[in-house]
Amino acid sequence: MKIAVTGSIATDHLMHFPGRFAEQLLPDQLHKVSLSFLVDELVVRRGGVAANIAFGMGQLGLRPVLVDAVGADFEDYRGWLERHGVDCGSVHVSEIAHTARFVCTTDDDMNQIASFYAGAMSEARNIELAPVAHRIGGLDLVLISANDPAAMARHTEECRERGYPFAADPSQQLARMSGESARELIDGAAYLLTNEYERDLLESKTGLSDSALLDRVQVLVTTLGGDGVRITGRGFDPIHVPVAKVVEVYDPTGVGDAFRSGFFAGLSWGLSLERSAQVGSLLAALVLETVGPQEYVVRGDEFAKRLAESYGDEVADEVRPHLPA
């Protein structure tokens, strides 16, 4: 299955605040918040939504095509991704801007406050998908994840025009979209992926109920945090997949991206929606157990063993033949 992953490529600057954000926010003063948090840790990691998703797919043996715009400072990152199975041949290099940067602080409750500098990502709107399809011999799926909003709109429209199946994954960009823009982004999608809050925000902005959303997209995938994932769609009963067992939680950054990696890897292997969500949930657990979104390693036998522990031997036996050695 030939998958293009469009979206952000960024460097993550991850910090930890030894306390609770909630204790520092005064309800009657939220209109004039002015806070500085003294953090006790700084870790610089490779990140960006699309890069994280592509990395996870590469860990599972796929060869995803990464599509976004970066700066000249991307070369070391490019080498890392290519060594881990990601095709970077369609990444555009800006002549004037740096690669995007994500700055995030996590508190003791795993709540996060973050900022994102777009940088070269704003040039992603100039990238056309047709040359990508021509270079690799077609596209079976285009994942449109958080990116420059104009790029997301362009890629969505091109997918509809050229008949490329696509997955809409607007995530944090929903906050700056109008209801009309959000409707245009999801219309005709094979898959729509959100977390529970984003799903409510999408419905609020667009006025579309669950049933109305299913008139526009084929499958709705909603991650529910500690409650797992819910999948609804046309012609099948709702599916609920609980979270995979986690050894110890270290860092939630990139968990949703890892779920998407595993979910679409499972679909590319021909697995059911439920099995694919179970693969995605376990990959998300691996990210929770590490600091940074690309610091985990998938080992086939160990991955299958943990699938069995979380979901049963039958699931592990079905997935095992597809896992990398």
The residues annotated as belonging to the active site are 257
The 3-state secondary structure of 169-210, one letter per residue: ECHHHHHHCCHHHHHHHHCCCCEEEEEHHHHHHHHHHHCCCH
Among 60, 76, 117, residue whose Cα is nearest residue 260: 60
Tokens coding 64: 């995803």
Q: How far apart are CA 298 and CA 240, in angstroms?
A: 24
End-to-end CA distance of the chain: 19
> Which tokens go with 76?
């070391």
Which H helix or E strand runs over 142? strand 141-145
Candidates 231, 227, 228; CA nearest to 239 is: 231
Instruction: Find where tokens 């109305």 sit.
Output: 212
